Structure formats: C-alpha cells, structure tokens
Amino acid sequence: MSGTSAKAPVYMDHAATTPVAPEVAQEMGRCLTADGAFGNPGSGGHEFGDRARALVEAARMRVAQAAGARADEVIWTSGATEANNLAIFGVADHYRDFGRHIVTARTEHKAVLDPCRELERRGWRVTYLVPDASGIVTAEQVAGALAADTVLVSLMHVNNEIGTIQDIAAIAAVCARHGGARFHVDAAQSIGKLPVDFCQSGVDLMSLSAHKAYGPKGVGALLVSRQGGVWLRARQFGGGQERGLRSGTVPTHQVVGMGAALELAAADCEGENRRIAALRDVLWQGLEACGGVIRNGAADASVPHLLNVSFEDVEGESLLAAVSPHVAVSTGSACASASGEASYVLRALGRSERLAESSLRFSLGRYTHAADIERTVAAVGHALAHLRGVGGVISIGGADGIEGTDGVGGAYGIGGV
C-alpha cells in the first residue's frame, strides 16, 4: 500500500475497512471546529444550525445519487449493522399482523443472521436458503421459499467473505410478484464498488456503510423505498430525527464524510474496477502457482476487489501467523475469529472445517499497487513452504547429515495421521 514503509505489512483487508480518503477527511474536518459547521443540524433559527443542516442535506443528496436513490429515501444510521437491524426489526414490527415469516440465506452477515435468530426466539419462522457451491442464491430458490405469510426477504448484494454478487434485480422481481414480501439488501460490500441503482432495482430497503468505501466508521444509511410504500417501526426514539425512524442528533461530519466518500467512489468506479481486477488476477495466478490452493466463490460473478482462497496441507492459525507480519488479511480460522468457529460462510458452501480454517480473504483497494501483489504472493509462498515443510508435506531435506528424507516423513504415510 503506497504511503507505508517497505517493512509495514501490505494492507489486504479492504473488505473489513478502508482508510478515510484524504479529500474526505478534509471535508469532515470542516464540520468539527468553531470555525466550521459544528452546529446542531436540528437547531433551527440560527446560522450555525442552518449551515450544518445544509451540509447534512447536501450529503444526503450525494449518498442518494451514488446509490441511485432519492434524497428523501436516505435514513442516516451508525453503520450497516444498525441499518440491517432497523430494516429487519422495523419491517417485522410493522407487518407482524400480516405474517411472521422471513427468508434469508446461510451465508448472510451476522448483522442479518443474528436479528433473524432473535426473531425466531420471538416466535417467527425463518427460512435460511442454502447457496450453491459458489455462494449464489437464485431467484427461483427465493420464489420457492416464499409463503403466504412472508413479510421480508433479506439477502446481501455482495458476500463479505467470498465476494459473490447476487442478482438482486431478479430476486426483487420475485418479491414484487409475491406482493407481501419486502426485499431488503445489505449492500455494505457493494456500495462504492459496483454500480448500485436503488430505484431501478426494485429493492425496498438497502443498507449502506461508509467505511468500506474510504469514508469514516460510525456512519451508514438505510435506503427506504418511497415508491414501494414500505413502512417501518422505529427502533430508537427521542428527537424524531430522520422522519422519526432514527432519533438522535445527526453527526454532521460523519454524514458529510459518507457523502464525499461515496461520490468519490462513484466517480471512477468502472476504471478503478478494471485496475483492481487486473491486480486480483495477478494475485490469483501467483497464489495458484504455489499449489494446493482452492478459490472460493464465483470467479465469474464476483467483485474485483475480493479473493478468497483455501490452502491445503496447512493449519489455519499457523498460516495466518506466518503471513500476518507481512500481509494484513482476514482468515476463516477459528482461533483468529471472535466467534471461535470456522467460517460459517465457507462451511455453508461445502468446504471442510480444515479448508474453511485454512482460508485467507485478500481484499484489494484504491491504494493497492503491483508491488503489493508481489509482496503478498512472496509472503504467502514462503509461509506455505515453511508450514508444509514443518508438517512433512514437502521434504525439507537434510542440512547437517542427520536429517533424512527417507520417504516415511511424508504427510500421509505415518501412523496417526
């Protein structure tokens, strides 16, 4: 990553978060101090509040334009997690008398799965669709899962672990034909990276995040379709901001940052995607040359910035430990994750627990360059050689006349293996 010293690890975790773009940080800074727009955007009647409110509404317009939505469809939240919760519980609470069935998928983010599980505890039925081996959920699967009492379908646009893109327009059409099923899409991984057209897609609710697209952490939005006539019950009460759906003082600097970041990302989305896809391909070719690697997800229906790979014959935690001093990546390893379980997404795709644990997610970004790819391939190649040698999968040879490679030290010929 440019701007870091040669010894700093390469940052390959842009799907987790991105640095705030300098232009974005500048705009945010102008909303914080006494000489800037620090006023409460909810304070009418004086210049400070008016100035902040103007910036908030300008940011709302920028986010709407980046997502193909109307400005009055943007509800500010603290991030995609809150937006997902507001969408799921908001719909569930409002439409509870019309039905108590939700459709989602096993590979959704926890910010969708956990609210669904909470609703199950409250007596709702939830259908968890199983994607194919590449992570795709088809419109036909959704159609087959819809029931008379289905009030919500919640599926992500781009999977955060494997990068698979879902055909949300086709699924939206299925939900529209059903009539009673509102369609919520978690677009945290796609906004700023893929063209998103909320109005055209037929989606009813869409969750957005700023910090995956070079904006600040702590801000996001829920797009609520006006044309679809979707109603939500609020989760947070107080000052009645955001049309009463999300009370609380709107953080001017945060929403300004989100607006600036998404506008910036949308400006050269296509060119940037071409550049990153080329780098991603070089990365894959380099990793593939190491041998014993399996690409996870749909190579032909995936975002360009994300590559998920399982590595055979290495233990997951050791792989991450060997790679992480040189490259910052995410892993499917149980020991490295907060949940303590191997990646449920990869397990849902049919990967074994061992392969799920020995997987790495490489996510490229705006500041990733060819030299970073070279360093990444070298670091992973070195780690694989080291661990496969220590594990007896490949010969490490005799260095001092005592070690031998007599054929019994191989990985699969020893009792207890």
Partner 1 sequence: MHYNAITRRYFDSAPGAGVLIGPAVGRGAAGSRTQGTWVQFDVQADFATTGSPLLAAARFLAFACPHTIAACAWVVEHAVGRRLDAGLPESVRELSLLLGSPVEKLGRLLTVEDAWLAALSAAAARRVTVVAARDRAGPA
Task: Select from 23, 140, 341, 403 the one that contacts partner 1 (CB under 8 A).
Answer: 403
* CA distances, 19 to each of 22, 66, 240, 325 (Å): 9, 19, 32, 19
Minimum distance between the CB of residue 335 and partner 1, rounded to whole angstroms?
A: 6
Residue 402 touching partner 1 (CB under 8 A) = yes
Residue 339 touching partner 1 (CB under 8 A) = no
- In this structure, are residues 331 and 319 in contact, taking their beta carbons and an 8 Å threshold? yes
Minimum distance between the CB of residue 315 and partner 1, rounded to whole angstroms?
A: 6
Minimum distance between the CB of residue 347 and partner 1, rounded to whole angstroms?
A: 15
Phi, psi at 125, each rounded to 5°: -95, 135
Residue range at the interface with partner 1 (CB under 8 A); choices 109-117, 180-188, 224-232, 389-397: 389-397
- Point out the catalytic residue in the list 199, 269, 290, 335: 335
Residue 317 touching partner 1 (CB under 8 A) = yes
Alpha carbons 101 and 124: distance in angstroms, whole number: 6
CB nearer to partner 1: pick between 50 and 312: 312
Residue 378 touching partner 1 (CB under 8 A) = no
Residue 409 touching partner 1 (CB under 8 A) = yes
Residue span 119-158 as binding mask against partner 1, x where in contact by CB under 8 A, dash where not: ----------------------------------------
Of 412, 162, 417, the residue nearest 309 (C-alpha): 162
Residue range at the interface with partner 1 (CB under 8 A); choices 44-52, 172-180, 368-376, 382-390: 382-390
Structure tokens at 147: 């029931």
Pairing relationship of beta strands 220-224 and 150-156 according to DSSP bridges: unpaired
Of 382, 260, 267, 265, the residue nearest 314 (C-alpha): 382
| DSSP result, 210-270 | SGGGTS-TT-EEEEE-TTTT-----S--SS-TGGGTS-S---HHHHHHHHHHHHHHHHTHH
**What DSSP designation does 278 have?**
H
Minimum distance between the CB of residue 334 and partner 1, rounded to whole angstroms?
A: 9
Task: Select from 354, 367, 374, 375 the one that contacts partner 1 (CB under 8 A).
Answer: 354
CB nearer to partner 1: pick between 165 and 314: 314
Residue 272 touching partner 1 (CB under 8 A) = no
Alpha carbons 228 and 403: distance in angstroms, whole number: 72
Residue range at the interface with partner 1 (CB under 8 A); choices 146-154, 182-190, 275-283, 392-400: 392-400
Alpha carbons 84 and 98: distance in angstroms, whole number: 21
Alpha carbons 67 and 238: distance in angstroms, whole number: 28
Residues that bind partner 1 (CB under 8 A): 313-315, 317-318, 321-322, 335-336, 354, 357, 386, 389-393, 396-399, 402-406, 408-409, 411, 414-417
